[in-house]
């Protein structure tokens, strides 16, 4: 890992702890604005696939230790979801050469599929009823403000950083 990548990963890790803490201090539920997701998606565009996957996997348990959120045992599902966000956005963008927006959108869908599967398994282990409609409402309707923020902020921030540092050949494509 190069010094630049280690610095980026450290800054994104810190941001992934500070943003959710800020939201919790204001009494804003994390499942509405998804503050932990933004640094992971940025990591997917700024780091390699392994580093961005690791960032996504590490953030939920670290935040649980710092603030008690996301709650136990839900943070296990979030580890898979955020890990896939980082991995998929990086692979789509860096390996498949998709634009930033399609990479972000594809990673969002894959991560949510992992979350649905993860909650299905978690509920089976806990012996709880799995209500797919309630889960879909939480993942797609309740979190709509967070999804909108991600779609509005992440592509612009990623493109700005990548262009400034000439991290990719030419200018990164948004579409």
Q: Tell me, what CATH number does 72's domain have?
A: 1.10.1760.20
Which residues lie below 8 Å from residue 84, measured CB to CB, with a gap of 6+? 53, 56, 107, 110, 111, 114
- Residue 32 in domain: yes
Q: What is the pLDDT of residues 94-136, one digit of tens each?
A: 999 999 999 999 999 999 999 999 999 999 999 999 999 999 9
- What are phi and psi for residue 163, nearest 5 degrees? -70, -40
Token pair listed for 153: 């902020």
pLDDT at 164: 79
d(CA 10, CA 39): 11
pLDDT at 166: 65
- Residue 142 in domain: yes
d(CA 85, CA 104): 8
- Residue 45 in domain: yes
- Residue 25 in domain: yes
- Residue 175 in domain: no
Residue 56: domain span: 3-165
141: number of Cβ within 10 Å: 9
* pLDDT at 169 exceeding the cut of 80: no
DSSP 8-state secondary structure symbol assigned to residue 95 = I
Report pTM: 0.92
Find, among 37, 36, 39, 44, the residue nearest to 87 by Cα.
44
Percent of the chain with pLDDT over 70: 94
Alpha carbon 122 to chain centroid distance?
A: 20
- Residue 123 in domain: yes
Q: What is the pLDDT of residues 28-73, one digit of tens each?
A: 888 889 999 999 999 999 999 999 999 999 999 999 999 889 999 9
Number of domains present in the structure of the chain: 1
DSSP 8-state secondary structure symbol assigned to residue 83 = H
* CB-based burial, 65-83: b 16+ in 10 Å, e otherwise: eeeebbeeebbbbbbbbbb
- Residue 119 in domain: yes
* pLDDT at 172 exceeding the cut of 80: no
Greater confidence (31 vs 85) lies with 85
- Residue 147 in domain: yes
pLDDT at 170: 54
CB of 39 closer than 8 Å to CB of 51: no
Token pair listed for 81: 């979801």
- Local confidence band at 82 (pLDDT 50, 70, 90 cut-offs): very high
Find, among 112, 7, 90, 81, the residue nearest to 43 by Cα.
90
pLDDT at 23: 87
- Local confidence band at 165 (pLDDT 50, 70, 90 cut-offs): confident
d(CA 31, CA 70): 9
* pLDDT at 8 exceeding the cut of 90: yes
């Amino acid at each position: 890992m190069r010094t630049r990548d280690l610095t980026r990963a450290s800054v994104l890790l810190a941001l992934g702890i500070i943003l959710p803490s800020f939201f919790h201090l204001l009494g804003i539920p994390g499942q509405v604005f998804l503050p932990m997701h933004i640094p992971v998606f940025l990591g997917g565009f700024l780091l390699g696939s392994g580093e961005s996957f690791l960032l996504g996997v590490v953030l939920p348990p670290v935040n649980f230790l710092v603030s008690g959120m996301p709650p136990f045992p839900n943070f296990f599902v979030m580890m898979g979801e955020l890990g896939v966000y980082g991995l998929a956005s990086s692979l789509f963008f860096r390996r498949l050469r998709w634009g930033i927006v399609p990479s972000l959108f594809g990673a969002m869908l894959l991560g949510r599929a992992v979350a649905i599967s993860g909650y299905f398994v978690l509920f089976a282990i806990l012996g709880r009823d799995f209500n797919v409609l309630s889960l879909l409402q939480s993942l797609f309707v309740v979190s709509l403000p967070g999804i909108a923020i991600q779609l509005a902020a992440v592509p612009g921030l990623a493109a700005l950083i990548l262009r400034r540092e000439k991290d990719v050949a030419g200018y990164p494509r948004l579409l």
